[in-house]
Structure 1
Amino acid sequence: MRVVVTDAEYTSLDIEAGVLTVAGHELVRAQCRTPQDVIAAARGADALLVQYAPVPAEVLEALPQLRLVSRYGVGVDGVDLDAARVRGVWVCHVPDYGTTEVALHAVAMLLALLRNLTGHDREVRAGRWDYTLGGELRRPGDLTLGGVGLGRIGRMTVERAAPWFGACVGYDPHLPDDAWPPGVERTSLADLFARSDAVTLHLPLTEETRGLVGADLLARLPRGAVLVNTARGGLVDPDAVLAALESGRLGGVALDVLPEEPPPPDSPLLRHPRALVTPHVAWYSRQAEEELRRKAAQNVVDWARTGRPTHVVVEGR
């Protein structure tokens, strides 16, 4: 088969080649940014490995030979899933490559906000050695933690962080009661925001969740609450977050993902003293990257050998 890597940040595709070419498949590298780029690069391709390149309906329609799209990562919001179903194209992903890393990053961001580490660091570097300059800090045991989305990563995050808090509440409409983590009170999304002094997001990006955290939910938070997002940038309205920071409703925000990556250099969030921003790095460790790349390629090999990829999002034919 002909397998096209539409785009990748990796300097070498040796890991993918070690999976695909050993199994007898042709591997072609491209660097696509637009649907038109994907169409031009993937003529005659049987399968795509996709990092950030968009795969809307027009791409699937223009590539009748295409049978499978395997995404480097968990989210598949860049692929038109409905169009893939109609055309019988398999869509698969890698759901379990960086669970520990993302949970660790989320907890690290949460604790950094609660202890205002960046603010204290900034004051010390400016020559001011005074613990009061970082503002009032609150004892976590008096606070409530809210976890939005309690899949692999969300569950690990709240299980690690909850012991520091006085209470923990959670929202996940898709998680059955028999899989609900102990010690986490199940509640509605609105109630979670109304009660939580710290909120961590762990949801996929769908039409239902896009822009979910906007002015309405942020207004429900207790004054001075903090928000962490290591999931998908599109979950959060950045303008609403900025307004909540300015009003004091949000005491701090930590974002590893943004709607636009990288953000514009003049983005107000990058200049705000109570915003902590990292470059979509929560998933990363050397081992996680190797696992991600290997499993994304293995989806293709398994499909070619057995008729079914390992981690299916959309059933093909």
Structure 2
Amino acid sequence: MPTEPTTRIVITECDHDSFAPEHDLTDPAGAELVLTQSRSAAELIANAADADAILVQYAQITAEVMDALPRLRAIGRYGVGVDSVDIAAATARGIAVCNVPDYGTESVSDHAIGLTLAAVRGIPRLDRGVRAGSFDLAAVRPLFQTRGRVFGIIGLGLIGTATARKAAGLGYEVIAYDVAATPGQVFHGFAAVTLDELLERSQVISLHTPLTDETRGMIGAAELARMRTDAILVNTSRGGVVDGDALVEALRAGSILGAAIDVHESEPLAAGHPLTTFDSVVLTPHLAWYTEESYDELKRRTVENVLEVCAGRAPRNIVNPEVLGTPGRNSTCAPSTAVTGD
């Protein structure tokens, strides 16, 4: 008697050092999990030719890629942002796109605060000085305490709100700009202001917004020009939210004091990039999301989402829930009957 085809889940590419958490879920479910390291769209298509679901870290999943994968029912993204996936194309083809929007809230907000303190206290610069035998404070003067300074949050979602809470705990006066907030109201416990007011008042500006057509380059030359000369720009959201060339020019001109950047327009950051030449800039390699707790949660929930889709159930997280209940594109996964998500 023929056995039912196995659900096949292909990891398109990933730099994680272990996939035990994924196997803890796929193996009992009878699903096949295959790790590939696809370096191009052609390799990805070849490696995932008979996949029912794919798990994606960095790869661009275009309409052409989807059309070349006729069994594909679900795309799971290792992360919050889904700007690397053509959502409209996936929706038109009945493919569920899943992410993990609320993992790592504490980890990313911790990192945003860590970057802030490193930058405003000049810690990396002082560390380099001590290693070179210097105990001179001149390079970082003047320094200021956090109490009484203004911390501006752009994007008051889960991570932005957690960052705001931690900044307030350090003594900062926290103000926030969010498209869903009316200036003058209290939003998620913090004073909402216009973007212009936030740019003009804040000594620290921390970005916590997704990358969309509306937010791409939202911090450009005009916005940087409105910022205070003693302001630090902190970005743990998406590199494309900031116009990188404009930021470099603002730093060169001294129109802002410095920056602390975890995410970049092009990753990894190229050797010799202009941002690496400024002592007033603190750089980390897109690792704000990482703690052992968030790492495990990310991996388990990414695979849980696509397993749910392939089992005909609504996943905990889905970007395009309208595809639930659509025909299965010749998939061996069970057709979904759910109409609403969590």
Same fold (TM over 0.5): yes
- Matches of 1:15 and 1:179, distance apart in 2: 40
CA RMSD of aligned residues (A): 1.8
1:277 lines up with 2:283 in the alignment:
yes
CA gap of 1:22–1:233, structure 2 versus 1, over 3 A, is: same
**Is 2:307 the counterpart of 1:301?**
yes
Match of 2:218 among 188, 191, 212: 212
Aligned partner of 2:45 among 28, 32, 39: 39
Do the aligned partners of residues 224 and 179 (structure 1) sit closer, same or farther apart at CA in structure 2, a change above 3 Å counting? closer
CA contact (8 A) 1:231 1:257 kept: yes
5 Å-filtered alignment, 1:2-151, equals: 2-151=8-157
Deviations 1:115-148 (A, max 9, x none): 1111222222222212233221133333211000
Alpha-carbon distance, 1:274 to partner: 0.7
For the 8 Å contact 1:47–1:68, the answer to whether it is kept is yes
For 1:309 and 1:176, how far apart are their aligned partners in 2? 33
In the alignment, the residues of structure 2 paired with residue 167 and residue 297 of structure 1 have an alpha-carbon distance, to the nearest angstrom, of 40
CA drift of 1:305 comes to 2.7
CA offset at residue 25 of structure 1?
1.0
Moved more, 108-117 or 131-140: 131-140
Residue identity matched to 2:174: C
- Give the superposition deviation at 1:165: 4.6
Q: 2:241 aligns with which of 214, 226, 235?
A: 235
Q: Which of 291, 295, 298 does residue 289 from structure 1 map onto?
A: 295
Q: 1:91 to 1:225 in 2, by over 3 A?
A: same
Aligned counterpart in structure 2 of residue 180 of structure 1, from 182, 187, 203? 187
In terms of fraction of residues, the more helix-rich structure is: 1
With the length of structure 1 as denominator, give the TM-score of the two structures: 0.94
- Contact 1:224 1:248 (C-alpha < 8 Å) held by counterparts: no
The one of 191, 197, 214 aligned to 2:203: 197
C-alpha distance in structure 2 between counterparts of 1:285 and 1:115, whole Å: 24
Measured after TM superposition, the shift of residue 166 of structure 1 is: 5.2
Counterpart Cα distance in 1 of 2:43 and 2:196? 42
Contact 1:53 1:78 survives alignment (8 Å): yes
Q: 1:105, 1:282 within 8 Å by CA — same for their partners in 2?
A: yes
Q: Deviations over 1:237-260 (max 9, x none)?
A: 121111111111221100111111
**Worse-superposed segment, 167-176 or 61-70:** 167-176
2:206 aligned counterpart, secondary structure = strand
Alpha carbons of 1:32 and 1:190: their partners in 2 closer, same or farther (altered >3 Å)? Answer: farther
Q: Which runs of 5+ in 2 are unaligned?
A: 1-6, 327-342
- When residues 49 and 224 of structure 1 are mapped into structure 2, their CA distance, relative to the original with a 3 A threshold, is same
Q: Is 2:177 the partner of 1:167?
A: no
Number of equivalent positions:
316
Aligned partner of 1:310 in structure 2 is 316
Following the alignment from structure 1 to structure 2, what is the Cα–Cα distance between the partners of residues 141 and 26? Answer: 54
- Please say which structure displays the higher CA radius of gyration: 2
Where in structure 1 are there 5+ consecutive unaligned residues?
none
* TM-score, normalised relative to structure 2: 0.88
